[in-house]
Amino acid sequence: GLTAGIVGLPNVGKSTLFNAITQAGVEAANYPFATIDPNVGVVEVPDARLDRLTELVKPKKTVPTAFEFTDIAGIVKGASKGEGLGNKFLANIREVDAICQVVRCFEDENITHVAGRVSPIDDITTINLELILADLEQVDKRIARVQKMVKAKDKGAVQELEALEIVRDVLESERPARVAELSEDQLAIVKHFQLLTMKPMLYVANVSEDEVADADSNEFVQAVRDHAATEGSKVIVICARIEEEISELEPEERLEFLQDLGIEESGLDQLIRAAYSTLGLATYFTAGEKEVRAWTFKQGMKAPQCAGVIHSDFERGFIRAEVVSYDDLSAAGNMTTVKEQGKLRSEGKEYVFQDGDVVTFRFNV
């Protein structure tokens, strides 16, 4: 599955956040495929539509879809120079599909800051620069090779060289490759290299307990937001310590705890949903009397592939999918009315799934 990696300088709150993630309480029995890697934390994706479907269908069991975060520990500064641990840090980032960068926005004189003072933009620059330098090295090497191919009259090489030079210019100006202005063809060429700074970045501003309900008045948060805007990235504000406390509570107590703090939704839930959509993920539902369940697919996936998310047999033997949108089902209140209204569609192999589709698959075994 797709995963988002958590990175950040030392003492910014990564471990605290990751603890919250691993303690948040997925029911392991529901996710037998979940990895047992200690650096991977599985969380359930909060979705109010699932609650509504449960209310309508009254199943024996409801299962949310799940999502993975990977804890990327290791040294950051100097990583691109490729010394042992630094190499490993970059290799770990290479394996994730999106990056969640935790940034310290809380002051606490008892907790050392590696740079001596709280300064989120310096922290962001430190990390991003390592990623940019690693990419630049890779791109420069490739450019040298492609230049030779151009000399040898290789037509495809000309196009590749153009794309790479655009990216190199962006990297040399110390900006991430993802802001490069590329045509669709050029983007396809560059994607092939799996550059670190092409991966979507999500900033996680970690604020103190007493500021989380009023994050807008925190100047550090504002600085992170301004920076993120320049590269089209999202910012989620959390207090990692509170998230850790919440994760230790029983689910029924969590809501009350949040209300006391004046927060509507936990920061972790916001982070999960933001990472999910940043990765281009979407949800469809199956809604039977035994089980109402949410499933993750990648936007753009067609019906057979989506069936394969449940089981490979479903993909192989796919015949058709009976589909109603969540909105139509929720408005109608039950399947009988949905059918009377002509809102149940029979879709074939070419159907592109939409977020919120409620589905029954027909397949050969």
Q: Is residue 12 a contact residue for ligand GDP (CB under 6 A)?
A: yes
Instruction: Classify residue 103 by burial, with Cβ atoms within 10 Å: 0-12, 13-18, 19+.
Output: buried
Does residue 89 touch ligand GDP according to CB under 6 A?
no
Choosing from 14, 113, 227, 254, the residue that interacts with ligand GDP (CB under 6 A) is: 14
User: Is 84 annotated as ligand-binding?
Assistant: no
CB closer to ligand GDP out of 28 and 111: 111
Interacting stretch for ligand GDP, rule CB under 6 A, among 11-19, 44-52, 133-141, 196-204?
11-19
DSSP H helical segments within the chain, as ranges?
14-23, 48-57, 84-94, 120-151, 155-172, 184-191, 219-230, 240-247, 251-261, 267-278, 303-310, 312-316, 326-332, 335-340
Asked if 240 is part of the footprint of ligand GDP (rule: CB under 6 A), the reply reads yes
336 labeled part of a ligand binding site: no
Residue number, 242 or 294, with CB nearest to ligand GDP: 242
Distance separating alpha carbons of residues 325 and 190, to the nearest angstrom: 36
Asked if 304 interacts with ligand GDP (CB under 6 A), we say: no
Q: Is 77 annotated as a binding residue?
A: no
Residue with tokens 């209140």: 333
Report the residue number, 118 or 344, with the smaller CB distance to ligand GDP: 118
360 contributes a contact to ligand GDP by CB under 6 A = no
If binding is defined by CB under 6 A, does position 112 make contact with ligand GDP?
no
- Residue from 113, 178, 227, 241 in contact with ligand GDP (CB under 6 A): 241
Would you put residue 296 in left (φ > 0), alpha (ψ -120 to 50) or beta? Answer: beta
Could you give the strand order of the β-sheet that contains 3-7, starting from the edge strand earlier in sequence? 40-44, 66-71, 3-7, 98-104, 201-206, 234-238
- Of the candidates 237, 248, 180, which has an alpha carbon nearest to the alpha carbon of residue 212? 237
Query: Considering only residues 1, 10, 59, 308, which one is a binding residue for ligand GDP as defined by CB under 6 A?
Result: 10
**Which residue is associated with the tokens 């916001």?**
270
By beta-carbon proximity to ligand GDP, the closer residue of 102 and 180 is 102
CB of 11 to ligand GDP, least distance (A): 4
Token readout for 164 is 């790479």
Pick from 3, 16, 62, 233 the residue near ligand GDP by CB under 6 A: 16
Sheet holding 61-63, edge to edge: 61-63, 291-298, 281-287, 357-363, 318-325, 345-347
76 annotated to bind ligand:
no
Number of residues that make up the chain: 365
Q: Pick one of 50, 163, 201, 239: the residue that binds ligand GDP (CB under 6 A).
A: 239
Residue 85 touches ligand GDP, criterion: CB under 6 A? no
Q: Which residues are annotated as a binding site for ATP?
A: 11-16
Residues in the site for ligand GDP, rule: CB under 6 A? 8, 10-16, 106, 108, 111, 206, 208-209, 239-241
Q: Which residues are annotated as a binding site?
A: 11-16
